[in-house]
Structure 1
Amino acid sequence: MISQIVHRIQSMEPTRRQFLFHAALAALFRVFSAAAAFLLSVVAARVLGAEQSGLFFLGMSLAILLGTLCLFGMENALLRFIGHAGEQDNADLTNQVFTNALLAVLPTSVIVGGVTYLASPWLALNVFSKPEATVSLRYFALAIPFISLFFLNGYALQATRRVIASVCSMQLGVTLLALPAFLLLNHYQSNPMAESASVLYVIASGLVVLSGLWLWFREPDHRIDTSDRKMPALWSAAPNLWLISATSQAIPWASVVIVGLFVTSEEVAYFSAAQRTSLLISFMLMVINFVAAPRFSALFKAGKLDELKRLAQFSTRLMIVFSIPVLAAVLIWPDTIMTLFGREFSASGQLLVILAVGQTINVMTGSVGFLLTMCGYERDMRNITLFAGMLTVTLILIFTSLWGIVGAALAVSIGMSTQNILAVHKVEKRLGFWPIG
């Protein structure tokens, strides 16, 4: 059996074999990342309890939402333009793209973080009706620039196909630093609070930013290059890429924030835990996108559409195969899985099932978002994500007010499914093939 698998891999064309190698490497470290993030949620829930962990998840969700918005879509721009530069061995273009992105994101994230810090008492009292959240919101406001920068570093490293460095420069690095600190909270505080956990998250984020910058600039060819601040191709694509990433990446975090307007801190914790667990369904999609995005850009730029089609369809089949067992486990044992967060979380198994269905549709449609954005059709993806985002937010507001967190989970699944189904149709129209083939 093993020899047959090895033979099949050896008989593959070199590009597909290289893709599988990088996918396996990314999968290995993404497994660590997903497991660590999941474990961090479990530890936070168990150490802090439902009420305090709800405040912690609320603050973290707001910080990641705002930190993502401050990226200006530069994460996709880095993948696309540094991907092009890498194929041409153009170090100057790589440095110019990274410098432009850094100089756009850094001041914006600092300003947004400062405004959020000052507005935290007002947000806690008037927006979330949780005055006890003020201190943790202030600490998470300090994390906003760090969140923007560690994502920026990670995507730049991803664009240069440095898989391990990229994964470690994003959430995995933060989680690995924060997790042992959370475990020790019980030893220093008899009644651990969300504020203490927030401080630990801020410190971990800052350390990951420093390590990510070191990993980027330790390459001899990498430097700050301000010689071309205009870059019309980059700046013309950036607004559309920003709207795409802001909508698609922010919705999962915004949903937690919106839910916080209607329900108790405990219910915020239940919803956040179920949502984070449902992401395990789309784990392989994240792995494939991580490896495939720069390749989509390079193949389209080279005019190799047949190879692009084969890679897209092969990657979709691969992610479906690996996602089915996870889906089966979620459908069979949802309540048992949720009890990992604590006994009081067992009632949120229904949320997990609803969110898992949406993630399954996300996986089965393939890497449609990256196919459109990496191939220059970011306007199409912008329109789709804006429509799906507005639909999702509208449904969350309506459904949560009617049915609570169950309604919120249903709204998120409907919005996600709508976005991916529309994107599949647009890929077929623009690129001439179905990624589900």
Structure 2
Amino acid sequence: MSYILNIKWAFILKVISSLIGFILTFLIGYMLSAEDAGRYFYMVSLIMTVGTIVRLGVDNLTLKTIPEIKNSIENKSIYISACVLLIVILTVLVIPFLYFLSIEKIECYILIISIIPFACVNFFSIYYQSIGDVKRGLLYSSVIPQLLTLLFFFLFYLLEVGENVVICYVLGYMFIFVFLIFKFPLKFVRVCFGDIKNIVERATPFMVVSIIGILNANYPIFIISNKLPIENAAYYAIALKLATINVFVLSAVNSVIAPKFSEYYNNNNIIELSKIAKNTTRIMVLLSVPIFLLIFIFSSEILEIFGSEYDNEITVYCLKILALSQVINVSTGASSYLLQMTGFGKEYAKLFTINTLLSAICSYFMSIYFGLIGVVISIGIGIVALNVFSFFMVKQKLKIWMI
């Protein structure tokens, strides 16, 4: 089946992306001080957060919409053009608020110039995935950006150019953005206000999930960076990077099957929908559990690779907790995507929002009383709770058992 072939390519590309990401994280942790590394991870989190906010949920809307209009080039061109224009408009509206962030002026300028390239590259990548071109989508969204960041990092390090190495991350996305503008398969056309309004209305359920999702992924860095010494951000970021190595399995599968979920559900093919959901969950478990065991057993030895300052008791415990929560995440399958692609986006958005808010509040207070380990415990509980509830929501709403 074609989706199995796409999963194979997605898996290969995710392995490559994870390898490059691991090398980049290692170099950041090894070659920079923990304080400078923490600053880098903090800025990357800011870029990802703002870049997701200005996309306003159109990523998941695209995964749902493009399969429905796949035979109309004109409709696809209008849709893509309206989404890009919406990203630009929202970026202009967001920029004034960025000056209120507690970052240096040069970092604020770097953040501003990164928004449109980051947002558009990720949006274009989602478009490729929605038409079944998973290889190209993943190349542009994960493999090439990390590879370019790695190359620029080496160049900056050799030339000893400044301390704001996050510019390496931004330059990578800027290069890809310029390339895609000229090589994108659809023509950008003039759109009217009604086209943008229609997208905003349809993207509302996805908007909540996308924005809360990126906040869910980055609020720990924001809390840690503001409540604890900045080096704790580096400890957490490296532990998280290691713990989520097995999540590339989930990400690879999701990038392939999300459009399939929408297609089968719209065609009322529930049997095939159930079959693909179960099969992909089993594939994910089979591939992720061995990785989890390796990380859990050899946590200290793996952290020592990044330098002696990362091989401490707290960071080891953080890695074990995060790894355990992530393997549970993978084991519940693509429950969140299945709910969003089958008309239950609002229900999932409510669940996701409540979970994120509770986890963020708990993490904030745990950081005050228990430091980094308290934040990580709150995060781990939140991840497990969200995925378990999503798993049973799929069973209740769709009568599909994911395993």
Q: Of the candidates 160, 177, 184, which is equivalent to residue 209 of structure 1? A: 177
User: How far is 1:200 from its partner?
Assistant: 2.1
User: How far is 1:114 from its partner?
Assistant: 5.0
Deviations 1:285-344 (A, max 9, x none): 001000000111111011100000000000000000000111001111111212232221
1:261 matches 2:243: no
1:41 matches 2:25: yes
| Counterparts in 2 of 1:193 and 1:354: CA distance versus 1, 3 Å | farther
User: Is the CA contact 2:299–2:319 (under 8 Å) kept in the aligned structure 1?
Assistant: yes
Q: TM-score, normalised by structure 2?
A: 0.94
Partner AA of 1:85 in structure 2: I
| Counterparts in 2 of 1:194 and 1:354: CA distance versus 1, 3 Å | farther
- Give the Cα separation in 2 of the matches to 1:393 and 1:416: 12
User: Is the CA contact 1:65–1:254 (under 8 Å) kept in the aligned structure 2?
Assistant: no
Q: Name the residue aligned to 1:167.
A: 138
1:80 matches 2:36: no
Moved over 6 A (4+): none
1:320 matches 2:285: yes
Q: Name the residue aligned to 2:355.
A: 388
- Give the Cα separation in 2 of the matches to 1:357 and 1:81: 35
Q: TM-score, normalised by structure 1?
A: 0.87
Deviations 1:33-71 (A, max 9, x none): 121122111111222221111111111111111111211
User: Is the CA contact 2:264–2:270 (under 8 Å) kept in the aligned structure 1?
Assistant: yes
User: How far is 1:234 from its partner?
Assistant: 4.2
Matches within 5 A, 1:124-143: 124=103, 134-143=105-114
Q: Name the residue aligned to 1:332.
A: 297
1:410 matches 2:377: yes
Partner AA of 1:206 in structure 2: M
Matches within 5 A, 1:218-297: 219=185, 222-224=187-189, 226=191, 229-230=194-195, 234-297=199-262
Q: Of the candidates 30, 40, 46, which is equivalent to residue 62 of structure 1? A: 46
User: Is the CA contact 1:153–1:209 (under 8 Å) kept in the aligned structure 2?
Assistant: no
Structure 1, unaligned runs of 5 or more: 1-16, 125-132
Partner AA of 1:305 in structure 2: I
Partner AA of 1:66 in structure 2: V
Q: Name the residue aligned to 2:326.
A: 359
Q: Secondary structure at the match of 2:189?
A: coil
User: How far is 1:232 from its partner?
Assistant: 7.5
User: Is the CA contact 2:48–2:214 (under 8 Å) kept in the aligned structure 1?
Assistant: no
| Counterparts in 2 of 1:234 and 1:46: CA distance versus 1, 3 Å | same
User: Is the CA contact 2:224–2:230 (under 8 Å) kept in the aligned structure 1?
Assistant: no
1:119 matches 2:97: no
- Give the Cα separation in 1 of the matches to 2:182 and 2:383: 36
1:104 matches 2:86: yes
| Counterparts in 2 of 1:267 and 1:92: CA distance versus 1, 3 Å | same
Structure 2, unaligned runs of 5 or more: none
User: Is the CA contact 2:261–2:338 (under 8 Å) kept in the aligned structure 1?
Assistant: yes
- Give the Cα separation in 2 of the matches to 1:136 and 1:277: 27
User: How far is 1:225 from its partner?
Assistant: 5.3
Partner AA of 1:307 in structure 2: E
Deviations 1:345-402 (A, max 9, x none): 1121211111111111111111011101111111111111111111111111121112
Partner AA of 1:26 in structure 2: A
User: Is the CA contact 1:284–1:323 (under 8 Å) kept in the aligned structure 2?
Assistant: yes
Q: Secondary structure at the match of 1:343?
A: coil
User: Is the CA contact 1:56–1:194 (under 8 Å) kept in the aligned structure 2?
Assistant: no
Partner AA of 1:18 in structure 2: S
Deviations 1:140-191 (A, max 9, x none): 33212222111111111111111222112223222111102212333222xx
- Give the Cα separation in 2 of the matches to 1:135 and 1:412: 31
- Give the Cα separation in 2 of the matches to 1:241 and 1:139: 28
| Counterparts in 2 of 1:214 and 1:353: CA distance versus 1, 3 Å | farther
Partner AA of 1:203 in structure 2: L
User: How far is 1:235 from its partner?
Assistant: 3.6
User: Is the CA contact 2:359–2:379 (under 8 Å) kept in the aligned structure 1?
Assistant: yes
Q: Secondary structure at the match of 2:7?
A: helix
Q: Name the residue aligned to 1:3.
A: none
- Give the Cα separation in 1 of the matches to 2:196 and 2:89: 19
Q: Of the candidates 346, 349, 364, which is equivalent to residue 316 of structure 2? A: 349
Deviations 1:71-112 (A, max 9, x none): 1000000111012222xx122232222122111112212442
Q: Of the candidates 150, 164, 186, which is equivalent to residue 157 of structure 2? A: 186
Q: Percent identity?
A: 21
1:419 matches 2:400: no
1:430 matches 2:397: yes
- Give the Cα separation in 1 of the matches to 2:190 and 2:113: 28
- Give the Cα separation in 1 of the matches to 2:65 and 2:244: 28
User: How far is 1:136 from its partner?
Assistant: 3.2
Partner AA of 2:359 in structure 1: T
Paired residues in the alignment total 401
